Amino acid sequence: MSARVNPVPSTGIPPAGTTVAAITAGSAAAATTAETTAGPTAERRARVDLAACHRLAAHFGLNEGIDNHLTMLVPGYSDRFLLAPFGLHWSEVRASDFMVIDFEGRIVSGHGPIEDTALYIHLPVHKLAPQARCALHTHMPYATALCMLENPRLEPASQTAIGLLDDIAYECDYNGLAFDQAEGERMARALGSKSILLLRNHGALVVGHSVAQAFERLYFLERAAQAQVLALSTGRALRRVPEPVVQATLAQWRSGAGTQVGGRDRVDLHFDALKRLLDRTSPDYSV
Ligand SMILES: [Zn+2]
């Protein structure tokens, strides 16, 4: 039994990042409408974007072997999602490869192996977190390095980091391998209404209303973590931005200032630019 969804107001994800500057309530609402509209055109667009997301994650070194998953609810549905067959390298995923998986874990369309953590992590996250139409779980190196520290917090020591500060949840201790949906349910509770969950001793979970939104946060989370790890690697003390400035900067971002450029959302401009990179280097992603 499938559950069709109506377009809903964007209430789930607070703004985050420089890039997050780019994510206003207005743009999120537009994305939500687009991602919840059913039909072959909407599904085709979601498939192309999710395939691009796999290729780009591989391009930027965010993958680990063939592990982890990047998933997206089928537009117009709240109980089935797109999943790449396990075994494909993210650099070879195509739009036509995705299986559609329902919330019973059954293949609705497509074919290929389903790796268990897709059902144990992504299925419950999609089910329980309304802002998670797209769910990206990676062991990307710099964010994971932060997760390995006694204090994993992203520090307000760079502009990119400040933009993400109030959109990250940290309280999810490592609990061994995910063997049932309880692990994904625990992650969804820890995520709350935020869009980023840093999993202690494990990696990152990033969600969004659209593939472009989620990838934007994944990308800039890794960039901010990379800068912090590099700064700490000097052995010298971090210079943190004073708290009043941090709060004033967050307020600027929350206001949505600078989000639109030339009438378009910066998130979409960035994702479109990245897809053009793929069009030049590996155009079969959209097949
Ligand atoms: Zn993992």
C-alpha separations of 151 from 92, 109, 162, 172, 225 in Å? 36, 43, 17, 13, 13
- Helix (H) / strand (E) element for 260: namely strand 260-261
Which runs of consecutive H residues, i.e. helices, occur in 192-265?
211-233, 243-254
For 171, what's the count of Cα atoms within 13 Å in the CB-facing half-sphere? 7
Task: Find the 213 Cα to ligand 1 centroid distance in Å.
Answer: 21
Q: Do 137 and 122 meet the contact criterion of CB atoms below 8 Å apart?
A: yes
- In this structure, what are the phi and psi dihedrals at residue 247, rounded to the nearest 5 degrees? -65, -40
Cα distance between residue 278 and residue 284, in whole Å = 9
Q: Which residues, given as ranges, of the chain have pLDDT below 70? A: 1-36
Give me the pLDDT at residue 67, please. Answer: 96
Task: Find the 193 Cα to ligand 1 centroid distance in Å.
Answer: 21
Task: Find the 222 Cα to ligand 1 centroid distance in Å.
Answer: 16
Strand partners, 134: 72, 208
Give me the pLDDT at residue 172, please. Answer: 83
Task: Find the 68 Cα to ligand 1 centroid distance in Å.
Answer: 6
Residue 238, both tokens: 């971090």
Task: Find the 266 Cα to ligand 1 centroid distance in Å.
Answer: 29
Give me the pLDDT at residue 8, please. Answer: 30
pLDDT in tens, 245-269: 999 999 998 888 778 899 999 999 9
Q: Would you call 17 helix, strand, or coil by DSSP? A: coil
pTM, whole model, 2 decimals? Answer: 0.88
Cα distance between residue 119 and residue 212, in whole Å = 23
Task: Find the 154 Cα to ligand 1 centroid distance in Å.
Answer: 20
Q: Where are the domains of the chain?
A: 18-255
Measure the CA angle with vertex 232, ends 227 and 238; round to 5°: 90
Q: Do 259 and 11 meet the contact criterion of CB atoms below 8 Å apart?
A: no
CATH of 18-255, one of 1.10.620.20, 3.40.50.2300, 3.40.225.10, 3.40.630.30: 3.40.225.10
Task: Find the 86 Cα to ligand 1 centroid distance in Å.
Answer: 14
Cα distance between residue 73 and residue 76, in whole Å = 8
Give me the pLDDT at residue 66, please. Answer: 97
Give me the pLDDT at residue 20, please. Answer: 31
Cα distance between residue 28 and residue 8, in whole Å = 11
Q: Do 174 and 199 meet the contact criterion of CB atoms below 8 Å apart?
A: yes
Cα distance between residue 91 and residue 87, in whole Å = 11
